[in-house]
Every structure is written in structure tokens, then in C-alpha cells.
Amino acid sequence: MRVQEVLSTSKEQRVATHSHIKGLGLNEDGTAKHISGGFVGQENAREAAGVVVDLIRTKKMAGRAILLAGAPGTGKTALALALSQELGAKVPFCPMVGSEVYSSEIKKTEVLMENFRRAIGLRIKEIKEVYEGEVTELTPVETENPLGGYGKTVAHVIIGLKTVKATKQLKLDPVIYESLQKEKVAVGDVIYIESSNGAVKRVGRSDAYATEFDLEAEAYVPVPKGEVHKKKEIVQDVTLHDLDVANARPQGGQDIMSVMGQLLKPKKTEITDKLRKEINKVVNKYIEQGVAELVPGVLFIDEVHMLDIECFTYLNRALESSLSPIVIFATNRGMCAIRGSDGLVAPHGVPVDLLDRLLIIRTLPYTLEEITTILSIRAKTEGISVSDDSVQDLAKIGVKSSLRYAIQLLTPASILSKINGRDQIAPGDIEEVNSLFYDAKSSAQMLQETKDRFIV
Ligand SMILES: Nc1ncnc2c1ncn2[C@@H]1O[C@H](COP(=O)(O)OP(=O)(O)OP(=O)(O)O)[C@@H](O)[C@H]1O
Ligand SMILES: [Mg+2]
């Protein structure tokens, strides 16, 4: 088999609805470029989202909320995803849909609370006593199995660690040998071992070995400076939900019944309010001591009109607590009834007292040119070739119905063009595919005209 000549095609292969969105596409001064980061037009909303990103980065946004409001298909979900990409991987981003709260097993507010805590990060800095260095030798010393029988057991491990300044030989417990094996430590790796609990962490391969091959899937790190045995600052990023889960494990012993119990009990019901309060207390103490730093992330609740009045009152309070992320809501509803409120009508289906706490960003419908550009970007992402005329035709359909409908016609049109023996979509294919499918508006119109033929 020839491997060298096979090109990697993974880059543009998996295409989802928002794959073409790479970021907000803003200039240094915060103004939006007309086309950038896969985003076209919608400048005001993008600039507003840029301001939100700045607020989050400077940690001035905790406990505040934004509402993205606009007609269907105007890019609200896309905007929220772009925002998360701008924030980077270190800031937690937790997306959910309003309807996720309805579960027969878990309370609505419980689901909300869990997602709130998924969106709050904690950067814990710990000064730990460690042995760190490049591994120069790794020899397990075996003895006869003391229980008799065959085979040998490891009595201890001799490991040599080297830094720029010193070398040291350590004699380690067999338990640590197991974690060394788990981390796949070999001679030439840079590792550290925590002296309090013997936890082993492989940092990477020593860069003294970096010239062995031209190309290698390895992270090379310099040989550590200073002594082998030293104090080291270790940074860990976790979310409050991670802490909840880690502390909610059943405390039972090793017997078979408690192991079964762990399998049967879903984790979620074990995280109690009491446990959360305890964790908050510890977290607050860490923050006061300067051991940990709070990283408020983003909780994105799409289709917020699906929440009911109970959830809304809960949100009012949750937003005001001291440990709260930035919450971004999105909705495409205008005036509509609030769920669970006996027909109380409110803007966006959100009670006015919650609306009062929100900053609202509007997304506006697109022009013909903008739809044309979005369609060409989309066609490129999906790997479909389209002639310029057909993009124009498709964009006109988009103006009449919606951007999303136009985007959705791309793939069927490309299939039709293949059936017709072309490898590029021509205007004829667009016409044909548009006659095969209905958009929401024409379907509704059709229903109106022929309503006596349907069951009511
Ligand atoms: N300005 C834009 N630039 C590029 N692509 C866009 C833009 N706006 C929307 N899109 C794309 O159009 C499609 C529809 O947008 P999106 O799903 O974000 O709409 P929405 O406002 O969330 O609609 P709904 O209210 O129905 O949920 C998506 O594939 C999205 O990536
Ligand atoms: Mg959406």
C-alpha cells in the first residue's frame, strides 16, 4: 500500500450547518469587516458581539445576559458560535436548547443549574512539591512473588531524572511504576512526579531527542532548569460542574454491591444542593486566598421561548448570584405567550422582568448581495461547484423565502446536476429543485388554498 501519496481530505469533509463560520471577523478597532471569518453582513450584531467578547475577556460581564433576537435564519445561532470561537478554548462555553429542560427524571431548574455550572470555569494554581526532569533511566526491580506461584512482581523502580543543573536517582514505590506505565513514560521524556501523592505527569519529549526524525507527532519540551526536587506552579482548568461530579461519586467501598450501585445510579441525581453549597464555599475560599481564579464563561440558551415561567423566575435569581456566567439567549419569536403562564403574552415569549435585565442584539434580514455571498461561501465549504448565474437564481429564491431554505437547496441541486451529467450546478438545476421542494411560505399558502382537503 502506498501511503505517501494519499492526501488528507479531512479538512473540508465533515460539514455541519455552521461549518463555514470561523469567528466574528472583526478589525482591531472592533468594527466588522463586511466579509470575514465566514460571516457576511450583519455588521451591527457582530460588532455588538465583539463588545461582549471584550467584556467577557476583561471579566466585567459576570451575571449579565444578552438576548439575540431576529427572524429565523438571520444568523443568531451562527453569531453565538462565532462568539465562542473568539473566546478560545480556555473560556468555558456551554450551549443548550430551551427544550432540554423538560425531562421526566430531572427537575427543570436542576438542568439549568447544571448548565450554569458547566459554564463557570475555575483556574486553580497550586504550588506543588515535585520531582521533575528528563528520564535518564527507568529500571523496574523485580522480586519473586511473595505469595508464591509463578511470575515476579515489581519491588521498586529506579528512575533517573536530569535537569540542566543536576541529576538525581530515585527509588519509587511499585504503585508509581503503574502510573509511569499508564503515561507511557520512556527514557528521554520530561516528566514530573508529585511528592505528596506520587501522581505522574508526562510533559513531553526532551528536545535533546528532537533531531531524531524530520517529522514526528510529539511535543518537544526543553530540559527543566533548577533542581530535580523543587516547588512548581501547576495550573489546572476545571468547571464547577467538573468539581460537582468529582465530589459526587458514591463513597462506598470496593465490594460488588457498591460497584453495581455506581452503575445503576445516574450521576446527575447525586449532585445535591448541599454538595454544591459546600463546593461553592471551598471555591470562594480558594478565590479569596488567591489559589484559584474565576473564569466566567458563556451559557448559550437557544430557543429561549421554550422555557416556562418557572425557569424564567429561576433565571432571574441565578443571574444575580456571585458565581454566575454570562448568559446569551436567542429567540426568533415576536409577541407570544409565555409557556406555563395561562396565556400571558410578552415580547419574545420572555417575561418583562427578565427582559429588563438583558441587553438585546438584533439580527436583521439579508439583502440579495449578502445572500449571494453567503451561498458561495457555503457552496465552497460543502465542496459544491456552482455557476454564477445559478447562485444569483438561488439567492433570489432566498430573498423570497429564507436564507436557510436557499442554503438547503444547494446539496439537492448538486445531486440533480450530477444526474443531468454536469459537475457544476446550472440555472436549470435550481429551477428543477425549486419545483420539487416547497419552502415554508409556499407550503403554508398551499395549505390555505386547499384546506378543505385536509383533516382538521
Ligand atoms: N451573516 C452570515 N454569514 C454567513 N452565514 C450565515 C450568516 N447568517 C446566517 N448564516 C448561515 O445561515 C444558516 C442559518 O442561520 P442560523 O441557524 O444562525 O439562524 P438562526 O437565526 O439561528 O435561525 P433560527 O431562529 O431559525 O434558529 C446557518 O447555516 C448559518 O451558518
Ligand atoms: Mg437558531
> Residue 387 has which C-alpha cell?
455557476
CA-CA distance, 109 to 123, in Å (whole number)?
A: 26
Q: Which residue has the higher pLDDT, 252 or 179?
A: 179
250 has pLDDT over 70: no
199 has pLDDT over 90: no
Report the candidate in 8, 18, 64 with the shortest Cα–Cα distance to residue 403: 18
The CB of 117 under 6 Å from ligand 1? The reply is no
Q: Which residue has the higher pLDDT, 118 or 210?
A: 118
The separation between the first and the last C-alpha atoms of the chain, rounded to the nearest angstrom, is 63
CA-CA distance, 270 to 129, in Å (whole number)?
A: 34
- Ranges 72-76, 141-145, 274-278, most confident: 72-76
Spacing, Cα 398 to ligand 1 middle (Å) = 12
* pLDDT tens figures, 329-356: 999 998 999 998 888 899 999 999 899 8
| Mutate-to-test residue for ligand 1 from 404, 408, 409, 411, highest number of ligand atoms within 8 A of CB | 404
Q: Whose C-alpha lies nearest to ligand 1, atom 18?
A: 75
The CB of 81 under 6 Å from ligand 1? The reply is no
Sign of dihedral through CA atoms 241, 244, 247, 249? negative
* pLDDT tens figures, 397-409: 999 888 889 999 9
267 has pLDDT over 70: no
* pLDDT tens figures, 408-426: 999 999 999 999 888 888 8
- The architecture CATH gives domain 16-119+297-363: 3-Layer(aba) Sandwich (3.40)
62 has pLDDT over 80: no
- Alpha helices, DSSP H only, in 401-451? 403-419, 427-436, 440-449
- Which residues is 120 bridged to in the sheet? 296
Q: Which residue has the higher pLDDT, 89 or 417?
A: 417
What was the pLDDT predicted at 61? 64
- The architecture CATH gives domain 125-236: Beta Barrel (2.40)
The CATH fold assigned to 368-440 is Helicase, Ruva Protein; domain 3 (1.10.8)
**Backbone phi, psi, residue 21, to 5°:** -85, 120
What was the pLDDT predicted at 261? 46
CA-CA distance, 300 to 339, in Å (whole number)?
A: 19
Arithmetic mean of pLDDT, 234-248: 83
6 has pLDDT over 70: no
Q: How confident is the model at residue 48 (pLDDT cuts 50, 70, 90)?
A: very high
> Residue 277 has which C-alpha cell?
453549597
Q: How confident is the model at residue 321 (pLDDT cuts 50, 70, 90)?
A: confident
**Atom number in ligand 1 closest to CA 17:** 29
41 has pLDDT over 90: no
What was the pLDDT predicted at 89? 81
The CB of 331 under 6 Å from ligand 1? The reply is no
* pLDDT tens figures, 286-305: 888 888 888 888 899 999 99
Domain residue spans of the chain: 16-119+297-363, 125-236, 368-440
254 has pLDDT over 50: no
Spacing, Cα 302 to ligand 2 middle (Å) = 6
What was the pLDDT predicted at 269? 46
Arithmetic mean of pLDDT, 417-441: 88
CATH topology agreement for domains 16-119+297-363 and 368-440 = no
Element (H, E) at 351: none
Arithmetic mean of pLDDT, 231-235: 84
Q: What is the mean pLDDT of the chain?
A: 84
Sign of dihedral through CA atoms 213, 214, 215, 217? positive
263 has pLDDT over 80: no
